[in-house]
């Protein structure tokens, strides 16, 4: 094996990818227990499920996206390591790097839109709670993951139809960034950058509002699980998703996807792994405290 920087980065990314996949499967099961849901009780509990725990449904979709994301990144990084270990045998298959990374790229886009939607929903819930409660039922939740998947899949249309991309993975390329052409790279940078900036903005709005609510001396307020999970998710996006992209943009003349490998997706997976661990601990805690509290929606 030719141990290069991309190979080392890929090896570093395997562990959090596996951890993210496994732990989010556990989180999905934990959410189901919170919902008290089973297939046999589908019709009898449908209304109570959405009445009591509807604010956690979006997180269930996001956990599902993280499972798929973790699995796709394992396939992507694992194949690249195999390719470098058995270079001559697998060289004709090097274009698989593109297809594996494209799946994780699209799922990541769907996850980003879901995270943005969660941030928007939580901001609405704490800034205009009455309006949120009155009008939220008119916006069916199941539409959001469908739209998120469509948002991710639209990248494929833009890549092949608008940017006229032809699959040809260069030698030693381990990331989608060194596979795609300049047209799609510009589109993706604007698209992803806008989603990240909006997520950061709504995270700031949410954290500011919750800070002042909890500083209120007249009554103590506790963060609901949904708000706490939204803050954790936003912190993950800012630190592990947005920061590496900003760093790569600022220092693009020194660091490229060709010479450092899939640093963006590896950073993202470490963030997802840490977030999954924090979310797991949050969901295991009992809601509320024994003090006189008003739960923030």
Mind listing the pLDDT tens digit for each residue in 117-138?
888 988 998 899 899 888 888 8
Give yes or no for residue 162 having a pLDDT over 80: yes
- Quick check: 43 pLDDT over 80? no
Assess whether pLDDT exceeds 70 at residue 221: no
Q: Mean pLDDT, to the nearest integer, of 233-237?
A: 83
Domain 5-285: assigned CATH number = 1.20.1070.10
Whole-number average pLDDT of the chain: 80
pLDDT for 92 beyond 60: yes
Q: What is the rounded average pLDDT of the residues 43-70?
A: 68
DSSP string for residues in 148-161: HHHHHHHHHHIIII
Q: Taking residues 166-188, what's their average pLDDT?
A: 85
- Better-predicted residue by pLDDT, 284 or 165: 165
Rounded percentage of the chain residues whose pLDDT exceeds 90 = 22
Cβ–Cβ under 8 Å, residues 220 and 185: no
pLDDT at 54: 59
Domain limits, the chain: 5-285
Number of H helices, E strands in the chain: 12, 2
For the residues 91-113, what does the mean pLDDT come to?
88
Distance CA 11, CA 15 (A): 8
How far out from the chain centre does Cα 214 lie? 28
pTM, two decimals, is 0.81
Q: What pLDDT does 24 receive?
A: 92
Q: Which residue has the higher pLDDT, 111 or 289?
A: 111
Q: What's the pLDDT at 287?
A: 45
Q: Are 91 and 175 in contact (CB under 8 A)?
A: no
Q: What share of the chain is helix, strand, coil (3-state, %, to 5)?
A: 80, 5, 20
More reliable by pLDDT, 245 or 289: 245
């Amino acid at each position: 094996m030719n141990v290069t920087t991309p190979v080392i980065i890929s090896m570093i990314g395997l562990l959090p990818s596996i951890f993210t996949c496994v732990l989010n499967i556990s989180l999905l099961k934990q959410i189901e227990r919170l919902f008290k849901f089973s297939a046999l009780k589908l019709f009898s509990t449908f209304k109570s499920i959405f009445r009591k725990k509807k604010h956690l449904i979006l997180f269930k979709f996001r956990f599902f996206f993280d499972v798929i994301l973790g699995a796709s990144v394992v396939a992507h990084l694992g194949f690249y390591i195999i390719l470098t270990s058995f270079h001559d045998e697998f060289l004709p298959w090097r274009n698989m790097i593109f297809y594996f990374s494209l799946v994780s790229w699209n799922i990541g886009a769907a996850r980003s839109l879901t995270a943005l939607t969660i941030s928007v929903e939580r901001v609405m819930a704490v800034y205009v709670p009455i309006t949120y409660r009155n009008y939220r039922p008119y916006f069916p939740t199941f539409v959001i993951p469908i739209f998120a998947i469509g948002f991710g899949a639209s990248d494929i249309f833009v890549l092949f139809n608008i940017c006229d991309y032809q699959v040809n993975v260069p030698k030693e390329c381990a990331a989608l960034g060194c596979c795609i052409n300049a047209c799609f790279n510009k589109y993706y940078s604007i698209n992803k950058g806008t989603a990240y900036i909006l997520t950061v903005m709504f995270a700031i709005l949410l954290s500011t509002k919750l800070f002042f609510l909890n500083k209120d001396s007249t009554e103590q307020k506790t963060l609901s699980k949904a708000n706490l999970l939204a803050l954790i998710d936003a912190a993950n996006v800012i630190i592990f998703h947005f920061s590496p992209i900003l760093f790569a943009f600022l220092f693009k003349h020194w660091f490229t996807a060709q010479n450092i490998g899939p640093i963006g997706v590896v950073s993202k997976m470490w963030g997802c792994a840490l977030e999954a661990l924090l979310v797991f601990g949050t969901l295991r805690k009992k809601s509320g405290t024994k003090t006189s509290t008003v739960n923030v929606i």
